[in-house]
Amino acid sequence: MDSSTLIGMVSIITAGLTIGLGAIGPALGEGRAVAQAMTAIAQQPDESGTITRTLFVGLAMIESTAIYALVVAMILIFANPFWDHFVRTGG
Amino acid sequence: MDSSTLIGMVSIITAGLTIGLGAIGPALGEGRAVAQAMTAIAQQPDESGTITRTLFVGLAMIESTAIYALVVAMILIFANPFWDHFVRTGG
Amino acid sequence: MDSSTLIGMVSIITAGLTIGLGAIGPALGEGRAVAQAMTAIAQQPDESGTITRTLFVGLAMIESTAIYALVVAMILIFANPFWDHFVRTGG
Amino acid sequence: MDSSTLIGMVSIITAGLTIGLGAIGPALGEGRAVAQAMTAIAQQPDESGTITRTLFVGLAMIESTAIYALVVAMILIFANPFWDHFVRTGG
Amino acid sequence: MDSSTLIGMVSIITAGLTIGLGAIGPALGEGRAVAQAMTAIAQQPDESGTITRTLFVGLAMIESTAIYALVVAMILIFANPFWDHFVRTGG
Amino acid sequence: MDSSTLIGMVSIITAGLTIGLGAIGPALGEGRAVAQAMTAIAQQPDESGTITRTLFVGLAMIESTAIYALVVAMILIFANPFWDHFVRTGG
Amino acid sequence: MDSSTLIGMVSIITAGLTIGLGAIGPALGEGRAVAQAMTAIAQQPDESGTITRTLFVGLAMIESTAIYALVVAMILIFANPFWDHFVRTGG
Amino acid sequence: MDSSTLIGMVSIITAGLTIGLGAIGPALGEGRAVAQAMTAIAQQPDESGTITRTLFVGLAMIESTAIYALVVAMILIFANPFWDHFVRTGG
Amino acid sequence: MDSSTLIGMVSIITAGLTIGLGAIGPALGEGRAVAQAMTAIAQQPDESGTITRTLFVGLAMIESTAIYALVVAMILIFANPFWDHFVRTGG
Amino acid sequence: MDSSTLIGMVSIITAGLTIGLGAIGPALGEGRAVAQAMTAIAQQPDESGTITRTLFVGLAMIESTAIYALVVAMILIFANPFWDHFVRTGG
Amino acid sequence: MDSSTLIGMVSIITAGLTIGLGAIGPALGEGRAVAQAMTAIAQQPDESGTITRTLFVGLAMIESTAIYALVVAMILIFANPFWDHFVRTGG
Amino acid sequence: MDSSTLIGMVSIITAGLTIGLGAIGPALGEGRAVAQAMTAIAQQPDESGTITRTLFVGLAMIESTAIYALVVAMILIFANPFWDHFVRTGG
Amino acid sequence: MDSSTLIGMVSIITAGLTIGLGAIGPALGEGRAVAQAMTAIAQQPDESGTITRTLFVGLAMIESTAIYALVVAMILIFANPFWDHFVRTGG
Amino acid sequence: MDSSTLIGMVSIITAGLTIGLGAIGPALGEGRAVAQAMTAIAQQPDESGTITRTLFVGLAMIESTAIYALVVAMILIFANPFWDHFVRTGG
């Protein structure tokens, strides 16, 4: 097995696991935030504006951790410096 | 085993695990959000519009993490740059 | 072992695990949503229409993650591009 | 070991694990839904019709994920395209 | 090791694990449903008929997932198409 | 190692694990049902007949999943078709 | 290693694990049932007869799953048909 | 390695794990039962006789599962039929 | 590696794991019982005698499972029949 | 396999796992903080300013742990001193 | 590798794991007991003497399980009969 | 594989896992602290100064454990004494 | 690999894991005790002396289990009798 | 591979895992303590001095377990007696 095959295999596995694992936490965290947001609106309808705004800021923060994982997965598939090195050197 | 066989095997395994793992978090998170939404509607029927709207925004955010995993799985099956490289070079 | 045997074995294992794992999250999430829906109806019978509608939208969203896993499993069994490649090239 | 032996072994293992794992989630989810349904009926007997109807729709949705796993397991045992290929080609 | 030995070994292991794992979920789910049914009866004795009927429908649904696992285990032991193939071909 | 040794070893391991794992779920489920039954009787002594009857039906359903596992374990030890095949053919 | 050594080793390991695992579930389930029984008696002393009778029936059901595991473990140690076969045939 | 060495090693490992695992469940179950017993006595001191009697019966049942594991461990160390066989036949 | 080395190694590992695992359950169970005992005393100081007596009986029962594990570990280190056999036969 | 191939493979795997694991904790922690923030606003609307400020400070602290993981992953991909060493020395 | 090296390695690993695992249970159990003790004192200050006495007896019982693990670890390091055997026989 | 390659690989893996694992605990702990801080402010707005101060001291303490992990990861990447040794000795 | 290298490696791994695992339990247990102590003080400020004293005794007991693990880790690094043996005999 | 390479690799892995695992417990424990401290202050503002003092003592105790892990990790990296031995003897 030459180097590029190995780098390719490893990149595929890692990209998948990264986003597969990285999707669990944010999804659960956002589910909790959204669920509580609706309880809060039901309890204090007059503050629904403040609550919704807080929710969106929070969701953006939580989503950011999913984005980090997605970015790393995408880098590994489409802009992998190790792969580029071996393809360039014919390794 | 030549390179394309290995890349193919690894792509299949990773694609399946990615969506298999990535479906757990969003499903649980959405289940929680939907469950709480109905409790909130039952508690404050007059705000059902605001609650439903918040729910849909939240579900879209949560679903997005499942979509990330699906996108990565689909890329690995149908638009895999590593596979294309080895098929193109006859590796 | 020739390439098509390996690709076949890997596709079978992955297809099964994908749907096996991918069925856990949605089933639990839907169970939670349905359970809470009935509590909400019992608490506020007059809103049963809104609650049921919200439930169905939510179930559809949750079911979608199970569908993603099923689709990937079906693609791996019946429309596997890697398998087609090796069968076509006699690998 | 020839190819058909390997494909056969892998199909058997995967079929069993798929339904074995895939039965856990739906069973727990349905248990929760049924349990809550009875609490709701006890709390609001007049709405038992609506509650039961919602329960049945929900159980059908949850059962569907178990059905997906069963279908994949059955396909792997009785309509496995990879097995058919190797038996047909005498591999 | 000839093919039928391997197929036999794998069938035995899988049959056992399938029912071993597949019995956990339904047992826990049914335990929850039965437990809640009795709480509901104690709370609203007049509705014990409706509750019991709902319970039985629910138990049947939950039991069905255990039955799926049992059916697959039994097929693997007594009506295994892969085993039949190898015994018939003397493999 | 001849075939019957392997089949024997695998049958022993599987039989033990099947009942070992399969005993966990029913025991926990029955424990929950029995515990709740007594709470219900304490809360509504007049309905102890209905509650006990529901309990027994439920315990029978839950026990059935343990019985499935026991039956498979016993078949593997005392009526194993694969073992019979190899002993009969002297394999 | 001759066959009887292997069968012996496997029987020992399986017997231990079977009862080791199989003791966890019943012990927890019985602990729960007994704990709740005493709460029920404290809450409704007049029904202590009915509660105790229900408890004993329930404990017998739960204990039965531990007994299943014990029976399988004992069969594997003292009445193992596979061991008898190999000792008899001098394998 | 001759047979008796292997049988000896396996017996030691299994005996330890059996009682090591088998002690977890009963200890937790008894802890729960004892804890609840004292709550019940504090709540209904007049029934302390009935409660204590129920507790002792329950503890005996729970302890029995630990005893099963201990018995199997002791049989494996001091009355192991497989070990006796190989020592007797000089295997 | 001669037999006594192997038996020695296995005895050391098993003795440690047995007591290491076997200490977890009793410690947690006793912690729960003691914690509840103090709550009960605070709630019903007049019954502190009965409660303390029940606590001590319960702790003795729970401790017994830890003792079982300790006894097995000590037998494996200081009175191991398998070790004695091999040292005696010079194996 | 030369050194740079190995270093490359290991860097890819580690970068993915680092951010994959490191995204779980912060996402769950932030989800909890955001959820509670909205409850607090609903409960005490007049303090929404203080609460929101506290939330943002807290989210920044929690996000910092995700950033640590991202930074390490990025260093491993784009500024890996070990990789640079081997590429520079032609290893 | 001679025997004493193997026995030494195994003793070191086991000693560490024994106390490493054995410290988890008692620490959690004692934490629970101490926490509840302070709640009880706050609730019934007049009984602080009885509560503290019960706490100390309970802590001693729980600590005993940690001591068992420590004793076994210390025996394995400083008074290991297997090590002494091999050092004495020059094995 | 020469020594520096091995040391490099191991340093990369360890650095990533250290911060990947070490980020989970602090993130969850801080999430809990921040969540409770906002509840406390909502409950007692007049003490928001004391609460915020306590929160910041606490967050600093919790963050310190994440910093420990980050420091160790950074030392392993940029100031690794083992790596320096082998690079210096040309190992 | 000579004996002292192996003993050294094993001692390093074990020392680290011992304190790494052994720190989890005490930290969680102490966290629980401290948390409850402050609740108790807030509930019954007049008893803060007794509560604090109980807390300190309890923390000392819990810390002792962490100390056990630390002592074993330190013995393995700095006063390891097995290491001393092999260094002394030049093994 | 010479001895110092092996000792170096093992020291790096262990140092990282030690602090990686050892940071989880303290972070969670401190998070719980800080969270409860703020609840207590909100509930009894007049006792904020006593509560804060108790909190700081508790945090110091909990942090100490993280320090133990850090100390062991630092010793393994910078003052490792085994490494010093092999570097000194040129092993």
- Identify the pLDDT of residue K91: 58
Mean pLDDT, residues B14-18: 93
- Whether K22 contacts I19, CB under 8 Å: yes
Taking an 8 Å cut-off on Cβ atoms, the answer to whether E22 and D19 are in contact is: yes
Give the percent of chain D with pLDDT over 70. Answer: 97
Q: What tokens were used for F67?
A: 């019985």
C21 Cβ contact list (under 8 Å, min separation 6): B17, B20, B21, B23, B24, C69, D21
Given a cut of 90, is residue L35 above it in pLDDT? yes
Calculate ∠ Cα M80-M82-M84, nearest 5°: 70
Domain assignment present for residue I87? The answer is no
Domain assignment present for residue D89? The answer is no
In this complex, does chain M touch chain D, defined as having at least 3 beta-carbon pairs under 8 Å apart?
no
The pTM for the full model equals 0.88
Longest distance between any two alpha carbons in chain G, whole Å: 65
CA distance J3 to J1: 7
Burial (0-12, 13-18, 19+ Cβ within 10 Å), E49: exposed
Contacts of B66 in chain C (CB under 8 A): 64-65, 68
User: Of the candidates D5, D24, D45, which has its C-beta nearest E7's C-beta?
Assistant: D5
B67 Cβ contact list (under 8 Å, min separation 6): none
Contacts of K51 in chain I (CB under 8 A): 38, 41-42
Given a cut of 70, is residue J25 above it in pLDDT? yes
Give the percent of chain A with pLDDT over 90. Answer: 69
- Identify the pLDDT of residue J91: 58
- How many CA atoms within 13 Å lie on the side-chain side of C40? 31
Mean pLDDT, residues J46-62: 91
- Identify the pLDDT of residue L2: 79
Number of domains observed in the structure of chain J: 1
User: Of the candidates L38, L56, L63, which has its C-beta nearest J40's C-beta?
Assistant: L38
Measured on CA atoms in the order I78, I79, I82, I86, is the torsion positive or negative? Answer: positive
Taking the CA of residue I29 and the nearest CA in chain H, the distance in Å comes to 4
- Identify the pLDDT of residue F27: 94
DSSP tally for chain H: helices H, then strands E: 4, 0
- Identify the pLDDT of residue J81: 92
Q: Mutating which of G9, G19, G61, G78 best tests the F interface, going by the most F Cβ atoms within 10 A?
A: G61
- Whether L42 contacts J48, CB under 8 Å: no
pLDDT tens sequence across E33-60: 999 999 999 988 988 889 999 999 999 9
User: Of the candidates F5, F21, F77, which has its C-beta nearest G21's C-beta?
Assistant: F21
Taking the CA of residue N54 and the nearest CA in chain L, the distance in Å comes to 12
DSSP designation for L79: S
The number of beta carbons lying within 10 Å of the beta carbon of residue C56 is 16
Taking an 8 Å cut-off on Cβ atoms, the answer to whether J58 and L59 are in contact is: yes
Q: What tokens were used for N58?
A: 């508790």
L89 Cβ contact list (under 8 Å, min separation 6): none
CA distance L76 to K1: 32
Domain assignment present for residue C2? The answer is no
Helix H or strand E segment including J27:
helix J24-43
Contacts of F81 in chain E (CB under 8 A): 77-78
- Identify the pLDDT of residue M91: 58
Average pLDDT, rounded, for chain J:
90
pLDDT band at I91 (very low <50, low <70, confident <90, very high): low
pLDDT tens sequence across D28-71: 999 999 999 999 999 889 888 899 999 999 999 999 999 999 99
Contacts of D65 in chain C (CB under 8 A): 23, 26-27, 30, 63, 66
- Identify the pLDDT of residue A91: 58
CA distance A88 to J8: 14
G51-76 burial, b at 16+ Cβ within 10 Å, e below that, comes to: bbebbbbbbebbbbbbbbbbbbbbbb
Taking the CA of residue C11 and the nearest CA in chain B, the distance in Å comes to 6
CA distance I75 to I79: 5
Given a cut of 70, is residue I61 above it in pLDDT? yes
DSSP L14-48: HHHHHHHHHTHHHHHHHHHHHHHHHHHHHH-GGGH
pLDDT band at K24 (very low <50, low <70, confident <90, very high): very high
CA distance I16 to K70: 10
Domain assignment present for residue B5? The answer is no
Q: Mutating which of M6, M11, M18, M34 best tests the N interface, going by the most N Cβ atoms within 10 A?
A: M34
User: Of the candidates N36, N42, N87, which has its C-beta nearest L51's C-beta?
Assistant: N42
Tell me the C-alpha to C-alpha distance, in Å, between residue D39 and each of C42, E35, E41, H27. Answer: 9, 11, 9, 33
DSSP tally for chain I: helices H, then strands E: 4, 0
CA distance L64 to L26: 9
Q: Residue C26: which of C58, C54, C63, C72 has the closest Cα? A: C63
- Identify the pLDDT of residue H4: 84
Phi, psi of A90 (to 5 degrees): 65, 25
- Identify the pLDDT of residue D36: 93
pLDDT band at K4 (very low <50, low <70, confident <90, very high): confident
Taking an 8 Å cut-off on Cβ atoms, the answer to whether H17 and I17 are in contact is: yes
Domain assignment present for residue M53? The answer is yes
Lowest mean per-residue pLDDT among G85-89, J67-71, K31-35, L32-36: G85-89
- Whether E73 contacts F70, CB under 8 Å: no
pLDDT band at D1 (very low <50, low <70, confident <90, very high): low
Looking up tokens 């394309």 gives: B4
Taking an 8 Å cut-off on Cβ atoms, the answer to whether B20 and A20 are in contact is: yes
Taking an 8 Å cut-off on Cβ atoms, the answer to whether J62 and L12 are in contact is: no
- Identify the pLDDT of residue D89: 82
What CATH number corresponds to the domain at position M61?
1.20.20.10
> Mean pLDDT by 10-residue block, N- to C-terminus, for chain C (91 residues)?
84 92 92 93 89 92 93 93 86 58
Mean pLDDT, residues A73-82: 92
Q: What tokens were used for I28?
A: 């947690």
- Identify the pLDDT of residue A2: 79
For residue D41, give the 3-state DSSP assignment.
Answer: helix
CA distance I15 to I25: 17
CA distance F61 to M28: 40
Q: Residue A3: which of A67, A76, A89 has the closest Cα? A: A89
Residues in chain M with pLDDT values less than 70: 1, 91
Mean pLDDT, residues E60-75: 93
Q: What tokens were used for L18?
A: 């250290």
Mean pLDDT, residues K31-45: 92
pLDDT band at K47 (very low <50, low <70, confident <90, very high): confident
Calculate ∠ Cα D66-D70-D76, nearest 5°: 150
The number of beta carbons lying within 10 Å of the beta carbon of residue D90 is 8
- Whether K42 contacts I40, CB under 8 Å: no
Looking up tokens 């008898």 gives: G84
Domain assignment present for residue D30? The answer is yes
Mean pLDDT, residues F61-80: 93
Domain assignment present for residue E55? The answer is yes
Residue H25: domain span: 10-80
Give the percent of chain N with pLDDT over 90. Answer: 70
Mean pLDDT, residues K80-87: 90
CA distance C41 to C49: 9
Domain assignment present for residue L20? The answer is yes
For residue G44, give the 3-state DSSP assignment.
Answer: coil
Contacts of M56 in chain K (CB under 8 A): none
